[in-house]
Chain A
């Protein structure tokens, strides 16, 4: 009996002792923590994907308190930005449109055949180690699905033609596939990017012709036709698109002899004409035009499109709320206006580079 009593006394005293010690320690050594950290963590998706550039959502939450931008979380999207701006009381910078991954290679099994039979581990990183891969083109997509394996959102899948396809709905632009791809043929661009140069082969034209039916042969047609200065440059036997300059007019896709450049709206591309009856001079199209081809600007003044200057990017057509823009005229292959005036680029200039 006494033993039981002693046990109870000892254990209770032990518990009370520790309880008091912890209680006192908690008061004495109390560290103030920002209550906003917990709030921010709650509103983040918790996928710990690292798209924001921090190791996990908790680290990003702490960084936000210290002044990091609140729009870094791609999987969270608009909801996360809204929640974060409420907690932090600041607005996100200019809202970026949602981005997704794009494949910049078109060499499927038929267009860019295999040059050897590879029976090793089904991994792009592995096949690259074996003599630069089993594909005729050593720059293109191998199609063994390293991107598919690494995608945490099930948004990228290898199709029957041996190339991956990105699910626009599921992709959150976390960037894991971009890192995993040994060929660097995946890029992140805004959802709705229409025109892309889809070749990364740096070899001379002669070799590219042998390797792939849709490879860039560096003929520089796109470079010369492009109305925007600096949107396309020729580098090392390859046309390179500079995405921050490109306005998606699709002229490059129109002139490319090898179909290395794709344009989602190639069928639509026409010179727009403003329907005077419907136009009420809201200036939306005027502000949106990347090449100043629309006359107007004063409110209520009806707009007119300068035909010779228009590149047919259809930005005005997309933005008009009054259905006042019609697509009627066939677009010429090159816009002479830009050739003759400020953007006079010649093949010589390209060679000099």
Chain B
């Protein structure tokens, strides 16, 4: 196994091609759940969890159902998106049911965020990129984890800034979502500083 390659994948997903700030996926929770640090953390952990699991399952679905190793047919172009959405939705639902029984504490901690992110584009984005980049199973999982970590990082940074903005002197016209969008833009801009860190 090539640890160097895994490291590069992780750094790339967390910083250089951060899902929120560079790929602009998962903007909805990024603005919606970033008002408070606590809920941002809950959301972030839920995203890491689901992204990792989704990467694992969809890789199997892709390589054994959509494009089986026998090479008899290849349905990637036709079915990939819908099959992945179906897979992720069912997976999250399944995990939720199991967790409610087996780990009620974790279930409570993740709370509403788990079902919330089922249909998030960032999750689907991870799974599609896994296939597009020809990652193997291990690489897919690492990519899933680090994409989640990157998302959480962006979310937590945003939440910290917005908590401070609450008591800052913001001109009336910029109050609320307007200043949040400006902050998001500035953060995205600053994250472009990471581009070129890894030679593609």
- Residue of A with least CB distance to B100: A31
B188 at the A interface (CB under 8 A): no
Which of the 9-residue segments B74-82, B135-143, B146-154 touches chain A?
B74-82
Interface residues of A in 278-320 (CB under 8 A from B): none
> Interface code A10-26, partner B: CB below 8 Å = 1, 0 otherwise?
11011100100110011
- Residue of A with least CB distance to B66: A10
B94 engages A21 (CB within 8 Å): yes
A31 engages B101 (CB within 8 Å): yes
> Interface code B69-107, partner A: CB below 8 Å = 1, 0 otherwise?
000010100110011001100100110011011101000
B65 at the A interface (CB under 8 A): yes
A1 at the B interface (CB under 8 A): no
- Given the known interface contacts A6-B73, A31-B101, the answer about A11 and B94 at a Cβ–Cβ threshold of 8 Å is no
CA distance A18 to B87 in the complex (A): 8
For B87, what are the chain A residues with a Cβ–Cβ distance below 8 Å? 14, 18
For A351, what are the chain B residues with a Cβ–Cβ distance below 8 Å? none
A29 engages B97 (CB within 8 Å): yes
Residue in B65, B97, B102 whose CB lies within 8 Å of A10: B65
A26 engages B97 (CB within 8 Å): yes
A130 at the B interface (CB under 8 A): no
B101 engages A14 (CB within 8 Å): no
For A15, what are the chain B residues with a Cβ–Cβ distance below 8 Å? 86
- Residue of A with least CB distance to B73: A6
- Given the known interface contacts A26-B97, A121-B169, the answer about A7 and B86 at a Cβ–Cβ threshold of 8 Å is no
- Given the known interface contacts A21-B90, A22-B93, A22-B94, the answer about A11 and B73 at a Cβ–Cβ threshold of 8 Å is no
- Residue of A with least CB distance to B72: A6
Interface residues of A in 28-79 (CB under 8 A from B): 29-31
A29 engages B100 (CB within 8 Å): yes
A29 engages B79 (CB within 8 Å): no
- A176 nearest CB across to chain B (Å): 16
For A22, what are the chain B residues with a Cβ–Cβ distance below 8 Å? 90, 93-94, 97
- Given the known interface contacts A3-B78, A6-B75, A31-B101, the answer about A14 and B94 at a Cβ–Cβ threshold of 8 Å is no
CA distance A18 to B89 in the complex (A): 10
Q: Chain A: how many interface residues by the 8 Å CB criterion?
A: 18
Residue in B83, B100, B102, B169 whose CB lies within 8 Å of A14: B83
A29 engages B101 (CB within 8 Å): yes
For A2, what are the chain B residues with a Cβ–Cβ distance below 8 Å? 73
Q: In terms of DSSP, what is the predominant structure of the interface of chain A?
A: helix
Q: Chain B: how many interface residues by the 8 Å CB criterion?
A: 21
Residue in A13, A25, A30, A31 whose CB lies within 8 Å of B94: A25
CA distance A14 to B85 in the complex (A): 11
B61 at the A interface (CB under 8 A): yes
For A31, what are the chain B residues with a Cβ–Cβ distance below 8 Å? 100-101, 104
- Residue of B with least CB distance to A28: B101
Residue in A6, A11, A25, A121 whose CB lies within 8 Å of B82: A11
CA distance A3 to B66 in the complex (A): 11
For B79, what are the chain A residues with a Cβ–Cβ distance below 8 Å? 7, 10-11
* B75, B86, B90 interface centre (most CB from chain A within 10 Å): B90
B98 engages A29 (CB within 8 Å): yes
For B93, what are the chain A residues with a Cβ–Cβ distance below 8 Å? 22
B61 engages A14 (CB within 8 Å): yes
A25 engages B97 (CB within 8 Å): yes
For A25, what are the chain B residues with a Cβ–Cβ distance below 8 Å? 94, 97-98
CA distance A306 to B87 in the complex (A): 84
CA distance A22 to B104 in the complex (A): 18
> Interface code B98-129, partner A: CB below 8 Å = 1, 0 otherwise?
10111010000000000000000000000000
B90 engages A18 (CB within 8 Å): yes
For A7, what are the chain B residues with a Cβ–Cβ distance below 8 Å? 75, 78-79
For B82, what are the chain A residues with a Cβ–Cβ distance below 8 Å? 11
- Residue of A with least CB distance to B74: A3
- A159 nearest CB across to chain B (Å): 23
- Residue of A with least CB distance to B68: A10
- Residue of B with least CB distance to A18: B90
For A30, what are the chain B residues with a Cβ–Cβ distance below 8 Å? 101
A29 engages B90 (CB within 8 Å): no
- A110 nearest CB across to chain B (Å): 29
Interface residues of A in 106-125 (CB under 8 A from B): 121
CA distance A3 to B75 in the complex (A): 8
Q: 3 closest Cβ contacts across the A-B interface?
A: A18-B90, A29-B101, A25-B97
Given contacts A3-B78, A21-B90, A31-B101, 19 further A-B contacts (CB under 8 A): A3-B73, A3-B75, A7-B79, A10-B65, A10-B66, A10-B75, A10-B79, A10-B83, A11-B79, A11-B86, A13-B65, A15-B86, A18-B86, A18-B94, A25-B94, A25-B97, A29-B100, A31-B100, A31-B104
Residues of A participating in the B interface, judged by any CB pair closer than 8 Å = 2-3, 6-7, 10-11, 13-15, 18, 21-22, 25-26, 29-31, 121
Supply 12 A–B pairs (Cβ within 8 Å), ascending by A: A2-B73, A6-B73, A7-B78, A10-B65, A10-B83, A11-B79, A11-B83, A21-B90, A22-B97, A25-B97, A26-B97, A29-B101
